[in-house]
Amino acid sequence: LADMTVNAVDRTMRVRRPVRNVIGTLKGSDPTLQSEAVIVGAHYDHLGRSARFSMSQNSAGQIHHGADDNASGTAAVIEMAKAAVAARHEFRRSIVFMTFAGEEHGLLGSSHYANHPTLPLDKTIAMINLDMVGRAGGRIMVDGLGNAPAIEEDLKAAESSSSLSLRALRGGPGAGASDDATFLLRKIPSINFFSGFHSDYHRPTDTW
């Protein structure tokens, strides 16, 4: 695991506090391709007690739990890492599993990683972002295919063996709206999985 510390501004207290990306790398099984990497990421921060980005009135001081946004994404990354380790021989390229800090305050964690990558960005061939995937209800939306059209056939193949229905979005709210934006700006094909907005979004009621 790599511990990468960046500084975020707590605007409610007007002080700087250290926050961290948490990174684990699974080395690829192919000696030739293991120098290339795919990033699987999600942000673990939410609003805390701040009302700055809250959708609820008079919510300052109330905990915004962020169970869907984005504990669901980080839980998915952890489960994917566990599954990948159990079948590590199937992954020819290296996989960088990462939970980002500071997404809500301007993609701070992913931007820091892009400037200080554990594996070279020119060897990073794709990024998969999971931002709010906790309320799928049998279907999940996929954004960013306009930037990575070659991935669409892979998604169709995955859908055929999955209980989830995939809905491709073209330029929707998730296309570059989260940490995938950081990698899109670096010309790295990036897609975002997203189960949709709901009435608890950015409210204290977003609990498990």
Beta-bridged to residue 55, according to DSSP, are: none
Residue, of 181 and 51, whose pLDDT is higher:
181
The tens digit of pLDDT for each residue in 35-47 reads: 999 999 999 999 8
Contact by Cβ (8 Å): 200, 68: yes
Residue 150 structure tokens: 């070659």
**Strand duo 165-168 + 139-143: pairing:** parallel
What is the residue-averaged pLDDT of the chain? Answer: 89
The tens digit of pLDDT for each residue in 43-98 reads: 999 988 887 888 888 888 899 999 999 999 999 999 999 999 999 999 999 999 99
Residue 2 clears pLDDT 70, i.e. is over it: no
Residue, of 149 and 172, whose pLDDT is higher:
149
Read off the pLDDT of each residue in 150-177 and give the average, rounded to a whole number: 78
CA distance 181 to 192: 9
